[in-house]
Amino acid sequence: MAKTTFLDVADKNPLQTIREFLKSILNTDDVQALLVPGRSGSSQSIMPVLINDPDLIDDADPLSPCFPVNSARLASKLSHKPIKGKIAMVLRPCEIRALIELSKLKQADLANTVIIGIDCLGAYSTKYWAQINATDADSLPGGLPDPGNPNDPHLAAACRACEHFVPENADILIGLFGINTTEKIMIQGITDAGMALLKNLPQEMVEETSEEPVAREKAVTDLLASRIEYRDTMFETTRQAIDSHEKFVRYFDRCINCYNCRVACPVCYCKECVFNTDVFDHDPYQYLQWARRKGAVKLPADTVFYHMTRVAHMSLSCVGCGQCSNVCPNDIPVMELFRLTAADVQHAFEYEAGRDKEEPLPLSVFKEDEFTDVVGIG
Amino acid sequence: MTEKHHPLILAFVCNWCTYTAADLAGTSRLAYPENIRLIRVMCTGMVDPQYIIKAFLEGADMVLVSGCHPGDCHYINGNYKARRRIRLLKEILPRIGIEKERLRLTWIGASDGIQFSKTMQELVVQARKYGPNPVSAGARISE
Ligand code: SF4
Ligand code: SF4
Ligand code: FES
């Protein structure tokens, strides 16, 4: 049973309050370091930072709408082998869900982590962030992204279509929705590990236990409804954009096979991508052969093959974080295709990426009596 | 493209069951259509979804994966794993305009020579009905 408490916000500055809270977590004996979005040195962009020195906590900026990388892959690097103590990680809900997928692949060990999830206000594309060149969340035009305005056109499409803005499977939750964050911030210990850690914090930090505010439920329900509406429209548009082979080819017709989308994808799990191996380092003869057989062949080759391979490999684990679209140099709506396909395939296997760490990856298990309808030629 | 459509069907068959059945069909002098290209694999469990995607992108009109009956797989459960992969592919192939019926999975045991021959004939009938693979739009694998 989750334990709910509140932090008092000083000087109407929720960011500073969250920093102080994270600092006290970093000060506990068991926590070795804190992985958190932030700014180190002269960096303008918000990137994941691994903070060891509690006095550097002001580098942390976990509320920023800047989201240049899904940290799940970094969290995996930090946790896949045993360490002394734990690393506390402040992650967005989609990063937590991707990390859960990686843990099923034994590419992360959640036992080495304490996951702190924050109600997600959504993110801007990295390009838009660079444009507004904000130095701090507080100085953004209009302040933080307004979760009450899910139609903010600057929010990434992935965020506008996201139903998972309240972190699932965190050890500790920092709640913002339905709360007047200039006065209070909600803290919940969700797992035993999370509750144990909260017990070790100074008492004045996390005082009385109380209930979730009533306004929170309504805020979450309302936001969910508008997200689902956006998502369904997005699905419909995408479905129509790719309902034939010609249209699929057109969808990717400015793809340059840079594979950025794969690099950015937190759940593209292969240690070495087959498209980087000799298998796809074709001989000149091979190209000539294709050209001869088909009359002409578009280059670079294998574009559709690449995207379909990615669909086959990871659509069951796609968490819809939108990083694939974020990094595409030619602004191809990659996320839209992947989310739509992910919805279909995850539904087919009654699976949901990132929902439950005990739920096995669909292609790693089987039942003797299932999917009998795919067998036969009838 | 007025001449009759000669469909091309790629069949991944497992060494221990369906390939043996094909062999039996051969030694029993049971004919099966020339439209089928057999690719022998050790087990249906080793048929990577990539092979199937590639086959369709290169113009195959149908792809068959065929192996041992449930319980008979020589690697214990390869065919069960294959069945999940086929289920996945049937969901994603329509994304590139490949109707899911163009991909088939069957269990044909080592002694089922007659069934092998019948299945191949039926597949060719189906492939003619579906028409050319929309991906190739005229470009055929040289026959
Ligand atoms: S495919 Fe795109 S949206 Fe899905 S997990 Fe990968 S980067 Fe995120
Ligand atoms: S990032 Fe864009 S251009 Fe690069 S491979 Fe992906 S879809 Fe193609
Ligand atoms: S050996 Fe025939 S399906 Fe596995």
Does residue B143 belong to any structural domain of this protein? no
Q: Are residues A191 and A279 in the same domain?
A: no
Q: Are residues A39 and A171 in the same domain?
A: yes
**Total structural domains within chain A:** 2
Q: Are residues A133 and A28 in the same domain?
A: yes
Distance, CA A248 to ligand 2 centroid (Å)? Answer: 14
Chain A residues whose beta carbon lies within 8 Å of the beta carbon of residue B95:
242, 248, 308, 311, 337, 341
Distance CA A212, CA A218 (A): 11
Residue type, A135: T
Q: Are A188 and A2 in contact (CB under 8 A)?
A: yes
Q: Are residues A279 and A184 in the same domain?
A: no
What is the CATH number for B51? Answer: 3.40.50
Does residue A116 belong to any structural domain of this protein? yes
What is the reported pLDDT for A177? 92
Does residue A367 belong to any structural domain of this protein? yes
> Å from B140 to nearest chain A CA?
7
Domain that holds residue A26: 3-210
What is the reported pLDDT for A208? 61
Residue ending a domain, choose from A178, A210, A242:
A210
The residue whose CB lies within 8 Å of the most ligand 1 atoms, and thus the one to mutate among A163, A235, A311, A335, is A335
pLDDT below 50 — which residues of chain A?
A: 141-142
What is the reported pLDDT for A138? 56
Q: Are residues A259 and A136 in the same domain?
A: no
Does residue A135 belong to any structural domain of this protein? yes
What is the reported pLDDT for A130? 82
**Total structural domains within chain B:** 1
What is the reported pLDDT for A137? 54
Judge if the beta carbon of residue A332 lies within 6 A of ligand 2: yes
Q: Are residues A31 and A176 in the same domain?
A: yes
* pTM of the complete model: 0.94
What is the reported pLDDT for A131? 81
Does residue B7 belong to any structural domain of this protein? yes
Q: Tokens for B44?
A: 């249906």
What is the reported pLDDT for A42? 80
Per-position b or e across A82-101, b if 16+ CB within 10 A of its CB: eeeebbbbbbbbbbbbbbbb
Does residue A226 belong to any structural domain of this protein? no
Nearest residue of B to residue A251 by CA position?
A: B96
Residue B44 has pLDDT above 80, yes or no: yes
What is the reported pLDDT for B143? 33
Residue ending a domain, choose from A181, A210, A239:
A210
Does residue A301 belong to any structural domain of this protein? yes
Partner residue opposite A304 with nearest CB, options B90, B91, B96:
B96
- Choose, out of B84, B101, B106, B121, the residue to mutate when testing the contact with A (most A CBs < 10 Å): B84
Alpha helix (H) ranges present in chain B? 18-27, 49-57, 78-92, 113-130
Q: Are A335 and A157 in contact (CB under 8 A)?
A: yes
pLDDT digits (tens, 9 = 90+) for A166-195: 999 999 999 999 998 889 999 999 999 999
Confidence of residue B26 (pLDDT cuts 50, 70, 90): very high
Does residue B131 belong to any structural domain of this protein? yes
What is the reported pLDDT for A147? 53
Phi, psi (5° rounding) for residue A286? Answer: -60, -45
Q: Are residues A159 and A29 in the same domain?
A: yes
Q: Are residues A279 and A206 in the same domain?
A: no
Residue B54 has pLDDT above 60, yes or no: yes
Residue ending a domain, choose from A176, A210, A244:
A210
Q: Are residues A206 and A256 in the same domain?
A: no
Domain that holds residue B68: 2-135
Does residue A57 belong to any structural domain of this protein? yes
Partner residue opposite A368 with nearest CB, options B80, B88, B137:
B80
Residue B40 has pLDDT above 60, yes or no: yes
What is the reported pLDDT for A29? 92
Residue B132 has pLDDT above 80, yes or no: yes
Confidence of residue B138 (pLDDT cuts 50, 70, 90): very low
Q: Are residues A58 and A158 in the same domain?
A: yes
pLDDT digits (tens, 9 = 90+) for B68-127: 999 999 999 999 999 999 999 999 999 999 999 999 999 999 999 999 999 999 999 999
Parallel, antiparallel, or unpaired: how do β-strands A86-91 and B103-107 relate? unpaired
The answer, for A316 touching chain B at a CB cutoff of 8 Å, is yes
Asked if the bond preceding A300 is cis, omega within 30° of 0, the reply is yes
pLDDT digits (tens, 9 = 90+) for A95-123: 999 999 999 999 999 999 999 999 999 99
Does residue A236 belong to any structural domain of this protein? no
Does residue A219 belong to any structural domain of this protein? no
